[in-house]
Structure 1
């Protein structure tokens, strides 16, 4: 079966499957594997310390695949400058860039008059409409089931995606709670023209920067084993439940401000868990889809399985025949 949508046409990919930005995890090995499997792999730019480091990561992907890939810019990291990182990606010939968090207007201003395809992660209809006004080529819509940073309104993927589809004319990519062919086809039924997956791609062999403890936690956790932190800061985000997230929730209950929370919610605490496997002194982002994760395949095996699952469903959508 062919999987032609506006998303596959826009990005030049075989399947409308996009790998999420995945802070501190989305590097060349994972991005290349997803692109080679027919989707769109992405590098996480703002987890790298400098433009030179980003250039090196981009060149690694370019050396391993000639298929399309993207660079993700998580711009909401407490005012960290990013224009020099975008410039490095432009100079390296990156053709797809995505942006998450923060105000994307400066991002689009910098990319004006280029041929870069742009994707924006949104968590509300109004954000999607603003992204379209700014010139986004597509929006990735994340429901409250997703891992990492979410919207403030607690709207699920099932409700949010069709709302956005009705509100914009550009392609919509569904995210949040998707981890197999069933979720993929459900997204299409809602009007989306592609999917983004984050948590599911962490539990793959090519996500080499994720510790075995992190992957094991994804395998053994259910959909009930995630917690939304940072609500009191206005930037809710879903992580695996553990001792560290319980400390964060306790501090938030005491109305702790950002200064009191920053050592608990920052990148160092995140890396202690996801890189070092220190589950008692750090945290790892994860969506409710963790309840559907039962193995750690290669990316190629995962995508192939999803395609087979989706094809069975798609071929059965001949209700009257």
Structure 2
């Protein structure tokens, strides 16, 4: 495959692994990069510059392909800056920025040979990221897992809107987990895809508890809910007694202080690491399309084959027009 995304990031397939807070470690990142995509490790949930440096170097022992480091900079009050310095010192090939205004990051890496991706959920964000100098955008629709945009725009509408509004390449995200989604992204004007939830249910996502992975496999697309709407930071999670209780408490007027213990990163980790039902797990609606836990290479092989079959089907429908 050849798009501007593959050319910019030096990868075989325009498939990017999401930042995946608390789960995006060297094993998964390297597996995605080795399969031809762009794997990522997550910086801010690693916590310290030393741990990030160790993880970056670990990736390089597992792959010689390009990879990225994700910076989820919301609510970190500049505490990511020491982590960013490590990424610069280690000369990482790419970074992605999610969760807040990326301008301070762009100002710091100016002149460094680092490719950049910015996650957006609307046209204005996309245009701002382009003005700041982003190499590519990841536009996430309402179907996605984890934190989402406040305007509740679905992927089917968001991707054409963003691709029409900017000149830089766009990756589609939200509701994509197989070759059909990859092909659909191309049809909508995107030049690649970003996936999060689908990569959790892989063998190389070694930090995710088996219970979490199996819940993703067993669940239907209707088994997700959105928490934290009233707090201004909506996010899609697995439906459970805990997450339904969070929503009910929000309806009753609970504040962030009231909810902070049960919506915290610690509560998230207690479920995704230990299977503790008192916690919660981020997922997207794409869980309805996930029915196995393959290796990353097996996932890529299946996706490319499915996309090729889909393209052939479209060719049969369109007839000679596809050859003109």
The TM tier, using the shorter chain, reads over 0.9
**Mean CA deviation greater in 102-111 or 65-74:** 102-111
Does the residue aligned with 1:47 lie in a helix, a strand or coil?
A: coil
TM-score, normalisation: structure 2: 0.97
**Mean CA deviation greater in 57-66 or 308-317:** 308-317
Q: Is the Cα contact below 8 Å between 2:224 and 2:236 reproduced in 1?
A: yes
Residue 180 of structure 1, aligned match among 165, 178, 181: 178
1:103 corresponds to which residue?
101
In 2: Cα distance, 1:208 partner to 1:139 partner = 28
- Return 5+ residue gaps in structure 1 as ranges: none
2:125 corresponds to which residue?
127
Q: Could you list the per-position Cα deviations for residues 31-54 of structure 1 after superposition, in whole angstroms to 9, with x for gaps in the alignment?
A: 000000000000000111200100
Q: Is the Cα contact below 8 Å between 1:240 and 1:284 reproduced in 2?
A: yes
**Mean CA deviation greater in 113-122 or 245-254:** 245-254
Residue 71 of structure 2, aligned match among 70, 73, 89: 73
Q: Could you list the per-position Cα deviations for residues 147-180 of structure 1 after superposition, in whole angstroms to 9, with x for gaps in the alignment?
A: 0000001100000000000000000000000000
1:141 corresponds to which residue?
139
1:271 corresponds to which residue?
269
Q: CA deviation at 1:248?
A: 1.0
Answering whether residue 200 of structure 2 is matched by residue 202 of structure 1, we say yes
Answering whether residue 265 of structure 2 is matched by residue 291 of structure 1, we say no
2:256 corresponds to which residue?
258
Q: Is the Cα contact below 8 Å between 1:11 and 1:96 reproduced in 2?
A: yes
Q: Is the Cα contact below 8 Å between 1:179 and 1:293 reproduced in 2?
A: yes
- Return 5+ residue gaps in structure 2 as ranges: none
Q: Could you list the per-position Cα deviations for residues 185-244 of structure 1 after superposition, in whole angstroms to 9, with x for gaps in the alignment?
A: 000000000000000000000000000110111011100000000001111100000011
Q: Is the Cα contact below 8 Å between 1:83 and 1:110 reproduced in 2?
A: no
Does the residue aligned with 1:306 lie in a helix, a strand or coil?
A: helix
Q: CA deviation at 1:314?
A: 2.2
Q: Could you list the per-position Cα deviations for residues 38-84 of structure 1 after superposition, in whole angstroms to 9, with x for gaps in the alignment?
A: 00000000111200100000000001110000000000135251111
Does the residue aligned with 2:260 lie in a helix, a strand or coil?
A: helix
In 1: Cα distance, 2:7 partner to 2:75 partner = 32
In 2: Cα distance, 1:313 partner to 1:220 partner = 26
**Mean CA deviation greater in 182-191 or 110-119:** 110-119
Does the residue aligned with 1:264 lie in a helix, a strand or coil?
A: coil
How many residues end up aligned between the 2 structures?
Answer: 318
Q: Is the Cα contact below 8 Å between 2:70 and 2:97 reproduced in 1?
A: yes
Q: Could you list the per-position Cα deviations for residues 244-264 of structure 1 after superposition, in whole angstroms to 9, with x for gaps in the alignment?
A: 101211221121111111111
1:59 corresponds to which residue?
57
Matches within 5 A, 1:225-244: 225-244=223-242
TM-score, normalisation: structure 1: 0.98
In 2: Cα distance, 1:80 partner to 1:220 partner = 39
RMSD (Å), alpha carbons: 0.9
In 1: Cα distance, 2:35 partner to 2:147 partner = 26
1:214 corresponds to which residue?
212
Q: Is the Cα contact below 8 Å between 2:91 and 2:114 reproduced in 1?
A: no
Matches within 5 A, 1:6-21: 6-21=4-19
Which 4+ runs in 1 deviate beyond 2 A?
Answer: 77-80, 314-318
Does the residue aligned with 1:141 lie in a helix, a strand or coil?
A: strand
In 2: Cα distance, 1:136 partner to 1:20 partner = 17
